Amino acid sequence: MNEDDLFHPKLMTLEDFVAMRRVLPKGYRLVFTNGCFDLLHPGHVDLLARARALGDGLIVGLNSDNSVRRIKKDAKGPKRPLNSQASRSFVLAGLEAVDFVVIFDQDTPLELIRAVQPQVLVKGGDWTKDKIVGREVVEDAGGQVMSLPLLPGYSTSGLIERILKAR
């Protein structure tokens, strides 16, 4: 099996999600978060579970491989991602808390948030509300934006450092 064979019904194109979104029940509370999710760890799982608890469904916007490579902060850049977008999306889709995964190629998820129209926008506590991309879009539509506390001691960068020290 190679990466091209990785399939999960929760993986969707933006176009397919938007079409499906139209048939969700009235009052369906959609929660959105995004990230690279390069090496999934307990901090990710905890954040995703708490985000999902805020609504009826959780959509994760996943940075494409090219998008991750363009991000220069937090030790990302040309050496990241360590796992391909096919692998990262497949692992995310396998989590109970995640209902939908859509890959985006832009540097920020703003266009995706505009198209998805979530009622709740969530990021980890390392993002202050005023820095969360898409905040205005969601709040202008009457939605909520939340920065949830992170599970202490877990980060992808920290995990990579520990792996490199253990070599």
Chain mean pLDDT for the chain: 91
pTM of model > 0.85: yes
| Residue 143 contacts residue 118 (beta carbons within 8 Å) | yes
| Residue 51 contacts residue 148 (beta carbons within 8 Å) | yes
H/E/C letters for each residue in 17-74?
HHHHHCCCCCCCCEEEEEECCCCCCHHHHHHHHHHHCCCCEEEEEEECHHHHHHCCCC
What are the pLDDT digits (tens) for 110-163? 999 999 999 999 999 889 999 999 999 999 999 999 999 988 887 777 777 787
Q: What is the pLDDT of residue 2?
A: 58
Q: Which of 82, 79, 75, 30 is nearest to 56 (CA)?
A: 30
Q: Please name each of the domains of the chain with its CATH number.
A: 3-166 (3.40.50.620)
pLDDT tops 80 at residue 164: no
Q: Which of 100, 93, 137 is nearest to 115 (CA)?
A: 137
Which structure tokens are listed for 83? 């796992």
